Chain A
Amino acid sequence: METAFVLSFAGLSFRIDAPEPEWSQRLQERYQAFLADEAAADWRIALRHAPDLPQAAADWARHEATRTEFHIASYRGRVDFATRRAQVLTPDLQRAPSALARTITFIATVILPREKDGLLLHACGLASDAAAFAFCGPSGAGKSTIAQLVPPTLQVMSDENVIVRLSEAGPILYNTPFWGQNTPETRIHRQRIHRPLKAAFILKQSPRWSLRPLAPSQAILALLATEKVAVERTPSAQAWLDIASRLLAQTPIFELGFLPAPELWSFLAEQGFPIPLSSPESRHVPPRPSHSPTPS
């Protein structure tokens, strides 16, 4: 049986070479909605079975020239951006999806700004029939909570990793096959979805509801704090800033103070975000920040 298969999403494609037919079969079942023609693959990832691989004493990643090596949790690997090849070792099939998710999302964070006019967002993506919203934040910010509170009018794209790509028609939000590591499989629905991105919210758990438009530099800092950002090399950081700048010009970004309660949606509706939101008139434009005359 062929052990290779191709994953494709948001204009990215990865040929996965699994170590055994059973691994390949299980992974293909998991990622069925994202399987594609083998000829489409831009990247090749060798997944290797390393039963004796120890847990990392401390997570690390090392970036040199075009290569990155890492040992995170029980996954060890290397990525070569020049040859577009990667290898990741994992001790068993159970942890293979996480190993692939970590490797592929890292590659995506680096190549999306440089090659695809896009960014990987560490976000819960929600889609209506006509629009999408991204709820961004680092681990523990509330992305999974947002996904659990979702009303029937919205579909969860992923509770962990979504991709925004800029286009002449505006930013488009795409889902990925990769959900939160702790999300129960019963809550996961892997389907290809993409919708125009109408707004992004930076999650902030709070004792009261609040919505604050972020000035561009504040929005950039907030996005940088969401963890999955490629700033490991200067060209990566510059590409990320350039694409983020273009995203800000097309998409309002807010800080959302929220309580983990279903009233979230009525609160957003009161703020001009009816669910589903389809009217461009409801966009908010962040005010210009005030400035001090002293360098800081």
Chain B
Amino acid sequence: MSLPDHLTPRRHPDTAFRVFEGEAVLISPAQNMVRTLNVTGSRIWELMDGEHSIADIAAILSQEFEVSTAHALSSVRAFVQELAERQLVQLAS
């Protein structure tokens, strides 16, 4: 089941990150995990500030990366879902 578009994802406060030339490196001591994100994933990560909804993020990505809103929405939902399952983001409605 995909996530509702009105949810506002927020980066988990226990995840350290830094963006290097557009690519984010995430470190989660609690998960004992290091992960890199490509440019698109990094942009989504930066927008997950607890203020932007999934729909907001998809709209911004659609504009910045020149892809359809439907494609952006699908990508953002899947990406947020994956990060939520890994406890790297928190979801609020």
Query: Contact residues of A with B, CB < 8 Å?
Result: 63, 215-217, 220-221, 224, 231-238, 240-242, 244-245, 248, 288-289, 291-296
CB contacts (< 8 Å) of B73 on chain A: these are none
In the complex, which residues of chain A have a beta carbon less than 8 angstroms from the beta carbon of B37? 295-296
- List the A residue with the shortest CB-CB distance to B39: A291
Answer whether A288 and B14 are a contact pair too, CB < 8 Å, given A221-B34, A231-B29, A234-B29.
no
Bound Cα distance from A128 to B77, whole angstroms: 54
Flag if A248 contacts B20 (CB, 8 Å): yes
Expressed in whole angstroms, the minimum distance between the Cβ of B14 and any Cβ of chain A is 5
Q: Is the CB of A234 within 8 A of B21?
A: no
Residue B70 CB within 8 A of the other chain: no
Interface residue SS majority, chain A: helix
Q: Are A241 and B27 in contact (CB under 8 A)?
A: yes
Number of B residues with CB within 8 Å of any CB on chain A: 28
Please name the 6 residue pairs, one residue from A and one from B, whose CB atoms are nearest each other, closest first: A216-B20, A295-B41, A237-B16, A241-B18, A238-B16, A217-B23
Task: From B13, B15, B20, B79, give the contact of A245 (CB < 8 A).
Answer: B20
Nearest residue, chain B, Cβ from A233: B29
The chain A residue with its CB closest to the CB of B23 is: A217
A289 to B75 Cα, complex, angstroms: 22
Kindly state whether residue B25 has any CB partner on chain A within 8 Å.
Answer: yes
Complex contact B34–A216 (CB within 8 A): no
Is the CB–CB distance between A220 and B38 below 8 Å?
Answer: no
A296-B20 contact in complex given A231-B27, A241-B25, C-beta closer than 8 Å: no
Please tell me if the beta carbons of B38 and A291 are within 8 angstroms of each other in the complex.
yes
B21 and A217 within 8 A (CB): yes
The distance in angstroms between the C-alpha atoms of A91 and B14, with both chains bound, is 37
**Chain A residues whose CB sits within 8 angstroms of the CB of B15 once the complex forms:** 234
CA A232 to CA B32, docked complex, whole Å: 8
- Interface pairs (28), CB distance under 8 Å: A63-B29, A215-B21, A216-B20, A216-B21, A216-B23, A217-B20, A217-B23, A217-B25, A217-B36, A220-B20, A220-B36, A231-B16, A231-B29, A233-B29, A234-B29, A235-B16, A236-B29, A238-B16, A241-B17, A241-B18, A244-B18, A245-B18, A291-B23, A293-B39, A294-B38, A294-B75, A295-B40, A296-B41
Q: Which residue of A lies closest to B75 (CB)?
A: A295
